[in-house]
């Protein structure tokens, strides 16, 4: 309950008394007689326990005027649960210069109107402002109206904070977007409908460079797109849309956001697009790295591969700022040629790069030397400065040392390397760019001396010789497989990789019983695979 005390020459005495009744059939009774005289409100606790009642109240108070004391009574009032009249937004508009949102509405004429409440549904908490008294509001929202259409609503409350429901009179800003067709030299505009009232007409405004906005056309309310063909080269353009309401009595409108600046002019078609280098990477795949011309406007950069006299095969489109592609379908041991076709923004091929190739290294053994030959690398404009040969050696494929450069470096495409004491020698070649930092790596090739394959005839599960495996020159255990059978011909264990050998366990992980077991193995020795049949005695 709220009341107002009007000052005069008399004095308000003592305390106020409040009386009430909860039904028309009941008599008024005292609720509280100790209300301090300077209070202006009162909260009736538990008034609606256990159910809502139809309360009415009045106040009694005493006033001292001169030597006389008088008792007065206020009007009797019922609970005010009548909501005020609806408040409806006239328009929500975006300023095309500042991109701020302006909201306007007609003042609420309800007798005990108190305040407006504004809502924006595009933020986590839709409450925009509360207890607002004016009929105009500027929303400096952190949400950019150039990114989407924004939704607003309004409601009103009276002095008892009775609020009209909201959500029935939604208004949404016009969101304008645009793109430029540089091939046909026109700008295409698209916008969303104004939501909140029926649109009569859309008016289109354009600004060229640093000039003022000018009306360029008007179209009916059923259309939300427009193509501006009056575009000249080498200018910047901004647009906004204004909608007008179908209303005979008021001139109401709403403006859209202004589009981002669109720059016209002839684009720079691609040229001088280069293949920077072609090289075998750590995944043993051919990797093609390109160099874009930063002054060119690309629609697409397509990568193609050619093998001998076959037709070109399209491999990949380099998108956005992408510069590296891995050719997963190309054989690194086969020579391929690669080239680029670049399209401008209109989809027309305007640039073709020079061809490039992967380096393919081959090896042949002649008595005590290995002869290396490779396909010359021809990607770089300034050519190759020199080639470096790298070698790794070991008694088997699985114990190769780290690759190290061997002398001499060469400008030729072949070299003879003397054998060493190891059974396996593997090589690759690097081309180094003249007057540049480019490096292209070839495939790897190996020469493997083969000889007898050795293996134990027994293993002791708990003894010294706990693992069965093969040994000998040039063996590649990672490519060696073996199957182990018991004496009844049942498979106990198998593996396609013998790097760890067999420890006497079956495929279930349990040690097999003592006894004689039979095996079939295919042992890899470079280009050769030797099939061996034998037996193993397993001891505890």
Cis previous bond, 50, omega within 30: yes
Homologous superfamily (CATH) for 274-354: Immunoglobulins (2.60.40.10)
pLDDT of 266: 65
**Residue 254, beta-bridge partner list:** 243
Q: Does domain 89-172 have CATH number 3.30.70.3270?
A: no
3-state secondary structure of 89: strand
182, 269 in Cβ contact below 8 A? no
DSSP 1: -
Q: CATH for 176-263?
A: 2.60.40.10
Length of the chain counted residue by residue:
540
Q: For each of the chain's 540 residues, which pLDDT tens digit applies? A: 888 877 777 888 888 999 999 988 889 999 999 898 888 889 999 998 888 888 999 999 988 888 888 888 999 988 877 888 888 899 999 999 889 999 999 998 888 888 999 999 998 899 999 999 999 999 987 789 999 999 999 999 887 788 887 777 899 999 999 998 877 778 999 999 999 999 999 999 999 999 999 999 999 999 999 999 878 777 899 999 999 988 766 678 889 888 878 887 667 788 899 999 999 999 999 999 999 999 888 889 999 999 988 899 999 999 888 999 999 999 999 999 999 999 988 788 889 999 999 999 999 988 789 999 999 999 898 899 999 999 999 988 888 899 999 988 999 999 999 888 888 999 999 999 998 889 999 999 998 888 889 999 999 988 888 999 999 888 999 999 999 999 999 999 999 999 999 999 999 999 999 999 999 999 998 878 999 998 999 998
Q: Give counts: helices (H), strands (E), the chain.
A: 0, 41
Mark 306-323 as b/e (b = at least 16 C-beta within 10 Å): eeeeeeeeebeebeeeee
3-state secondary structure of 285: coil
Instruction: Summarize pLDDT for 236-261 with one digit per residue, the tens.
Output: 999 999 999 887 666 788 898 888 78
Cα–Cα distances in Å, from 369 out to 364, 396, 416, 528? Answer: 9, 18, 7, 20
Query: Which residues, in sequence order, are CB contacts of 187 under 8 Å at separation 6+?
Result: 178, 179, 180, 181, 227, 228, 231, 237, 239, 262, 264
pLDDT of 423: 87
pTM of the model: 0.49
CATH architecture under which domain 361-448 falls: Sandwich (2.60)
CATH topology of domain 458-539: Immunoglobulin-like (2.60.40)
How far apart are alpha carbons 110 and 86 in whole angstroms? Answer: 9
């Amino acid at each position: 309950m709220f009341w107002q005390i009007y000052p005069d020459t008399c004095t308000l005495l003592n305390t106020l008394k409040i009386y009430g009744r909860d039904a028309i059939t009941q008599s008024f009774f005292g609720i509280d007689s100790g209300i301090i005289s300077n209070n202006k409100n009162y909260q009736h606790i538990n008034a609606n326990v256990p159910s809502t009642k139809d309360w009415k109240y009045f106040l009694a108070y005493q006033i001292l005027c001169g030597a006389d004391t008088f008792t007065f009574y206020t009007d009797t009032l019922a609970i005010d649960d009548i909501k005020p009249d609806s408040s409806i937004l006239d328009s929500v508009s975006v300023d095309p210069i500042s991109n701020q949102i302006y909201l306007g509405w007609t003042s609420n004429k309800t007798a005990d109107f108190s305040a407006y409440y504004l809502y924006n549904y595009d933020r986590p908490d839709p409450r925009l402002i509360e207890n607002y008294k004016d009929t105009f509001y500027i929303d400096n929202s952190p949400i950019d109206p150039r990114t989407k259409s924004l939704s607003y609503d309004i409601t009103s409350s009276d002095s008892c904070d009775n609020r009209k429901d909201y959500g029935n009179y939604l208004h949404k800003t016009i969101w304008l977007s645009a793109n430029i067709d540089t091939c046909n030299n026109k700008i295409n505009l698209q916008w969303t409908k104004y939501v909140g009232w029926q649109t009569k007409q859309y008016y289109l405004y354009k600004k060229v460079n640093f000039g003022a906005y000018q009306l360029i056309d008007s179209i009916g309310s059923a259309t939300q797109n427009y193509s501006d063909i009056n575009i000249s080269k080498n200018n910047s353009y901004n647009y906004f849309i204004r909608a007008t309401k179908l209303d005979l009595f008021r001139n109401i409108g709403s403006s859209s956001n202004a589009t981002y600046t669109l720059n016209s002019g002839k684009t720079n078609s691609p040229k001088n697009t280069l293949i920077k280098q072609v090289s075998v990477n750590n995944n043993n795949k051919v990797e093609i790295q390109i160099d874009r011309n930063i002054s060119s406007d690309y629609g697409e950069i397509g990568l193609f591969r050619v093998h001998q006299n076959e037709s070109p095969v399209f491999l990949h489109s380099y998108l956005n700022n992408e510069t590296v592609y891995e050719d997963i379908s190309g054989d690194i041991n086969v020579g391929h040629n690669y080239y680029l076709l670049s399209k401008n923004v209109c989809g027309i091929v305007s640039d073709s790069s020079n061809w490039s190739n992967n380096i393919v290294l081959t090896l042949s053994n002649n008595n005590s030397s290995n002869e290396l030959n490779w396909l010359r690398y021809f990607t770089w404009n300034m050519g190759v400065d020199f080639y470096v040969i790298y070698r790794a050696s070991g008694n088997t494929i699985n114990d190769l040392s780290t690759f190290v450069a061997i002398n001499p470096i060469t400008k030729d495409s072949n070299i003879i390397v003397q054998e060493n004491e190891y059974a396996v020698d593997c090589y690759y070649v690097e081309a180094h760019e003249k007057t540049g930092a480019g490096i292209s790596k070839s495939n790897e090739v190996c020469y493997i001396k083969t000889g007898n394959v050795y293996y134990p005839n027994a293993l002791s599960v708990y003894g010294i010789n706990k693992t069965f495996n093969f040994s000998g020159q040039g063996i590649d255990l990672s490519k060696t497989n073996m199957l182990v059978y018991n004496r009844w011909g049942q498979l106990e264990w198998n593996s396609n990789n013998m790097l760890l050998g067999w420890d006497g366990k079956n495929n279930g992980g349990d040690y097999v019983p003592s006894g004689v077991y039979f095996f079939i193995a295919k042992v890899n020795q470079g280009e050769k695979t030797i099939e061996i049949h034998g037996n193993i005695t397993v001891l505890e």
